[in-house]
Structure 1
Amino acid sequence: MPSVYDRFSLVSDFSLAGDQERAIGELVDGLERGDRCQTLLGVTGSGKTFTMAQTISRVNRPTLVMVHNKTLAAQLFQEFRRFFPDNAVEYFVSYYDYYQPEAYVPATDSYIEKEATINDEIDRMRLSATRSLFERRDVIIVASVSCIYGLGSPEAYYGMLLPLERGQRMGREQILRKLVEIQYERNDHDFGRGTFRVRGDIVEVYPSYEEQRSILEGEGRLLEAQRLHQRTMFDLEMIREIGYCHGIENYARHLTGRAPGEPPPTLLDYLPNDALIIVDESHQTVPQVRGMYHGDRSRKEVLVAYGFRLPSALDNRPLNFEEWEKRVHQVIFVSATPGPYELSKSQGVVVEQIIRPTGLIDPPIDVRPVKGQVDDLLQEIRTRVDHKERVLVTTLTKRMAEDLTSYYQELGVKVRYLHSDIETLERVQILRDLRRGEFDVLVGINLLREGLDLPEVSLVAILDADKEGFLRSGGSLIQTSGRAARNVNGRVIMYADTITDSMRVCIGETERRRALQQAYNEEHGITPQSIVKQIDEVMSSVYERDYMTPATVRDGTERFKTQAELDAHVAALQVEMKAAAINLDFEKAAAIRDTIKRLRNPELGVPWPTSHHHRGPNAA
């Protein structure tokens, strides 16, 4: 293996500041001692990602960084790529743009077929991640909990490789036969990933993990039994004839020779034994890992009970929590609010990182009465907008987010809302638009917390802060307040009529941190400065739009600055509409058609294309 692939090379304009050097030293010492679990308790904006990068560079081990959502994974992936441009920084998340799992609802006797749309770019990046682990040690993989789902054994994966080197001698027919064996398809016309074509003595291969090609020169039980027998025999016939079938993953236990109940091979099995695991935002990621197994098993037990799947399908599953723990040899939990699991596992090995390199202190918290909160917040928003700063507002319900957004828009505020009902996956684009100043205020529910790096935000407003619950727990309030900690003018306003226990926890912890930070700044003569961070281009090939504006603003047409932008958006909608119609999802197709009609409203001055490929607004 080339030595150039053995070492991490950290590239950064930053220098260690605050208590980063101490934190990194303690983490590295713990890893070298063999401590199994450590926790980095770093406040928002203290440079935890840089601390992780420095730790990885110093211990020089392959590293898996686990996070709990795709948005944060994309952000960390981009940051680690900047820190390690000469090393293999990979991205491993679910490759589904759309996923409807197989299920059965006994109450309505409804069987739901599995439906999925795979994102080709994410599929390529996942394959690139596994390939890197076979070829080199200077690997960092940023992954969601997708990494605990079955992937196929490393041994089987290695058997599906065709190693080729420059100057290697191998017969042409031998190469073609091996390509077919490893499921590459010969296609001389539509040349894409996972295909090859032959032109004379030249074989062109488009690897699955690359962006460019390579050139080589009765009764209920009886009914269920019949249904199960019919489905299984059909699947076996498909496997015998063409090598695979729809839902082949449900036969993984038989195909891999695993014993009943044996855990599936996952990305964790591809890692070397001395790999470092970093669990970012561990207070969220750890519970998510814990819950994946139970949710998957509950759904599949119904499929098995009603004869849609063999009992062995239960072994096509993610790891359970105990199995995940056994595969995690040395781990660093990273969070501003570590949970009880992390603290107990670390056995007191908690590394605090309270001081920010920029000298910024935690934002002060102001508690104001609920009565008149909307109008009071409006005045605060206008003050921030005058200073070209941004505002985040958190509400408790989707309805309140929509109503508040509509009200502020009628008053001339540039505002959008964000919530989980919006169908597609991506939240990166709207956050980028907020940073660029395309709008000033973002209203959300539970989406404005961990990992969002928004230095332009100087005010976080928490409406109904005294309503105890998951969204207003002590940890949630600390995380939400931290979104204002990257701006020197940062401030948090909690609207509440009473001070709850959760609010006391948040306010008390904030005051403790502020005291330590102010003392450090005074001792070292540091003047706080806002964090300066470049606005990255969005990974548009990986994500789709995930935001909307209320109907009062003509279906988002204010986003389009030019005719070309609007035309491109309408063209994308037309593709989505046709795909929905092909899938017999006529309600979705009709909804998209109506959206296109509104976007093409003559009063907007946007005529229908005259191309013969379109039949006008009623084409759907």
Structure 2
Amino acid sequence: MTQKFELHSDYQPTGDQPTAIKQLIDGLDAGVREQTLLGVTGSGKTFTMANIIQDRQVPTLVLAHNKTLAAQLYSEFKSFFPDNEVHYFVSYFDYYQPEAYMASSDTYIEKDSKINDEIDRLRHAATTALLTRRDTIIIASVSCIYGIGSPESYESMSITLHVGERRQQDKLVRLLTDIQYQRNDIDFHRGTFRVRGDIVDVYPAGSDAAYRIEFFGDQVERLTRIDPLTGEILAEPEEVSIFPSSHYVTPKEKLAIAIEKIKEEFAERLEFFEKHDKLLEAQRLSQRTKYDIEMLEETGFVKGIENYSRYLTNREPGEQPATLMDYFSDDFLLLVDESHMTLPQVRGMYNGDRARKEVLVEYGFRMPSALDNRPLTFAEFDRHINQAIYVSATPGDYELAHSPEPAQQVIRPTGLIDPVIEIRPTTGQIDDLVAEIRDRTSKNQRVLVTTLTKRMAEDLSTYLQEINIKTAYIHSEVDTLERGDILKDLRMGVYDVLVGINLLREGLDL
């Protein structure tokens, strides 16, 4: 389906926005690879980005430095482009303890994690949109530079169905199993399918609705999009595409080749350990790898399959992994929000990951190929860039050095100027804070309070609630999706006060 970006807004660019938009678009037209938008807080940088996206009409990646800011940008771009594909791509772990080994105390820490099912759905929805539509905006955190499997395999193993086509029902069931869907006739949820007579219901990994495929003999008689809970028919498409339930899905012929290569590396590494009398390391590696190979041969999947991604995606040692950025077309536009925070994060990801995995390889917990399950280096990230705009109130040296004269947004559309900053003594600060909150809430205004620690944020929030002040707190341990809800509730007046640790540098738009 060919769609165009169509910006919906009650407002037109004002203040410095028209000049900044023209300067940046002129630069893009002239083929300038990197530009910088220097805009003060409250100058409407997000609206400027939206206008640029509408002008360019190419798939766009908006990169943010944390999940809270990404969720907020997602909400804003969704309101600007309600008829287009706007998606949210962040780490899907609510809790993540990476696999690690501390040789000094002989302590092995097994990988432990809790996946957020809703964020996993949003990630699949994002990759599906990139492979099916041009009018796609992805709002992502820096987790998008981690490997997620080959886009070629993900797209080639998708199943496309048309009304009236000849297709055997039992063959469709086998194909669904091959792309990691599980048959479950009782508990119908994402990543499963059920069979009832001539009807197959499939709940795609990236959708909040299911597809019902009705057969008449060996012919697809009818396709419907249904509510998975009530069975209500939402639409009757002529064609549907079902993408794999895992980004690491691999065709059987590629999987067979990958398993042989895994066995070859395993034999070489085992011989190395035995030759150097590292029998404990050899035993560790043998136990882990033999189990993984058996699971891959029997089911095509294993926990920790990403550690074999070099072979599953047919890459050479050291070759960069496939990431979300590989799902974009070559002409995509990159917008880096709060670039002074985001770019240093991108630069630092690789080294930290590498140091931890080198220890695991050295002591026999992983094979050397696991080192290729990694984030992009900064040089690899840079090579992906077609055209980029760095957006910040305080751009760093890198952005300024790689850009022509920055486009500036100093005049706010609202005409507001920077507030006066007062420094007060700490004596009686809580009573002073409460008095200021009472004064602001009496005028139907909101208050942001910053603290030094998570515990302090929680304790202060509890204290304010006890004296009947509508308060919420926000920090990294608050659920990713819940953070967006808290910010929305603050705007709506459910809360009058928001307590946090680094609220003043989150890029919050309230």
Q: 1:28 to 1:177 in 2, by over 3 A?
A: same
Residue 203 (structure 1) shift: 2.1
Are 1:453 and 2:509 counterparts? yes
2: CA distance, partners of 1:349 / 1:83 = 28
* More strand as a share of residues: 2
Q: 1:408 to 1:136 in 2, by over 3 A?
A: closer
Higher relative contact order (CA 8 A, sep 6+): 2
Aligned length: 449
Residue 416 (structure 1) shift: 4.8
Gaps spanning 5+ residues in structure 2: where?
215-273
SS at match of 1:131: helix
Q: 1:373 to 1:183 in 2, by over 3 A?
A: closer
2:49 to 48, 52, 65: 52
Q: 1:206 to 1:405 in 2, by over 3 A?
A: closer
Residue 418 (structure 1) shift: 4.1
Residue 201 (structure 1) shift: 2.2
In the alignment, residue 222 of structure 1 is paired with which amino acid? L
2:149 corresponding residue in structure 1: 152
1:356 to 406, 412, 436: 412
Residue 412 (structure 1) shift: 6.0
Q: 1:26 to 1:178 in 2, by over 3 A?
A: same
Residues 428-472 of structure 1, C-alpha deviation per residue, up to 9 Å, x if partnerless?
333334334444333332244222122xxxxxxxxxxxxxxxxxx
Are 1:283 and 2:280 counterparts? no
Are 1:427 and 2:483 counterparts? yes
On the 8 A contact 1:150/1:266 being kept in 2, the answer is yes
In the alignment, residue 75 of structure 2 is paired with which amino acid? Q
Paired residues for 1:80-99 under 5 Å? 80-99=77-96
Paired residues for 1:26-105 under 5 Å? 26-105=23-102
Are 1:274 and 2:331 counterparts? yes
Q: 1:209 to 1:417 in 2, by over 3 A?
A: closer
Residue 271 (structure 1) shift: 0.7
Are 1:135 and 2:160 counterparts? no
In the alignment, residue 131 of structure 1 is paired with which amino acid? T
On the 8 A contact 1:61/1:138 being kept in 2, the answer is yes
2:113 corresponding residue in structure 1: 116
1: CA distance, partners of 2:292 / 2:195 = 32
Residues 316-348 of structure 1, C-alpha deviation per residue, up to 9 Å, x if partnerless?
0011111101101210111111111111111x3
2: CA distance, partners of 1:379 / 1:447 = 21
SS at match of 1:197: strand
Are 1:199 and 2:196 counterparts? yes
Q: 1:210 to 1:427 in 2, by over 3 A?
A: closer
Residue 397 (structure 1) shift: 4.2
Residues 562-600 of structure 1, C-alpha deviation per residue, up to 9 Å, x if partnerless?
xxxxxxxxxxxxxxxxxxxxxxxxxxxxxxxxxxxxxxx
2: CA distance, partners of 1:33 / 1:168 = 47
Q: 1:192 to 1:301 in 2, by over 3 A?
A: same
Residue 41 (structure 1) shift: 1.0
On the 8 A contact 1:277/1:332 being kept in 2, the answer is yes
On the 8 A contact 1:419/1:447 being kept in 2, the answer is no
SS at match of 1:364: coil
1:366 corresponding residue in structure 2: 422
Q: CA RMSD in A?
A: 2.3
On the 8 A contact 2:146/2:376 being kept in 1, the answer is yes
2:437 corresponding residue in structure 1: 381
Are 1:248 and 2:324 counterparts? no
On the 8 A contact 1:204/1:215 being kept in 2, the answer is yes
Residue 351 (structure 1) shift: 0.6
In the alignment, residue 329 of structure 2 is paired with which amino acid? P
Paired residues for 1:221-260 under 5 Å? 221-260=278-317
Residue 368 (structure 1) shift: 4.0
SS at match of 2:41: coil
Are 1:173 and 2:170 counterparts? yes
Residues 222-261 of structure 1, C-alpha deviation per residue, up to 9 Å, x if partnerless?
1011111221111111111221112111111122221110
2: CA distance, partners of 1:385 / 1:187 = 52
2: CA distance, partners of 1:332 / 1:351 = 10
1:211 to 208, 220, 241: 208
Are 1:18 and 2:15 counterparts? yes
On the 8 A contact 1:37/1:332 being kept in 2, the answer is yes
Which is further off, 206-215 or 258-267?
A: 206-215
2:220 corresponding residue in structure 1: none
Residues 59-109 of structure 1, C-alpha deviation per residue, up to 9 Å, x if partnerless?
111101111111111111111111111111111111122222111122322
In the alignment, residue 122 of structure 1 is paired with which amino acid? I
2: CA distance, partners of 1:376 / 1:125 = 43
1:311 corresponding residue in structure 2: 368
Q: 1:216 to 1:404 in 2, by over 3 A?
A: closer
What TM-score do you get using the length of structure 1 for normalisation?
A: 0.68
On the 8 A contact 2:471/2:499 being kept in 1, the answer is yes
Residue 276 (structure 1) shift: 0.2
On the 8 A contact 2:448/2:503 being kept in 1, the answer is no
2: CA distance, partners of 1:199 / 1:310 = 44
In the alignment, residue 380 of structure 1 is paired with which amino acid? E
Residue 399 (structure 1) shift: 6.0
Are 1:396 and 2:452 counterparts? yes
Q: 1:440 to 1:229 in 2, by over 3 A?
A: same
Are 1:331 and 2:382 counterparts? no
Q: 1:137 to 1:401 in 2, by over 3 A?
A: closer
Q: 1:206 to 1:427 in 2, by over 3 A?
A: closer
On the 8 A contact 2:68/2:506 being kept in 1, the answer is no
Q: 1:239 to 1:437 in 2, by over 3 A?
A: same
Residue 206 (structure 1) shift: 1.7
Residues 135-167 of structure 1, C-alpha deviation per residue, up to 9 Å, x if partnerless?
111111111112111011111112211122233
Q: 1:438 to 1:241 in 2, by over 3 A?
A: same
Q: 1:81 to 1:406 in 2, by over 3 A?
A: closer
SS at match of 1:163: strand
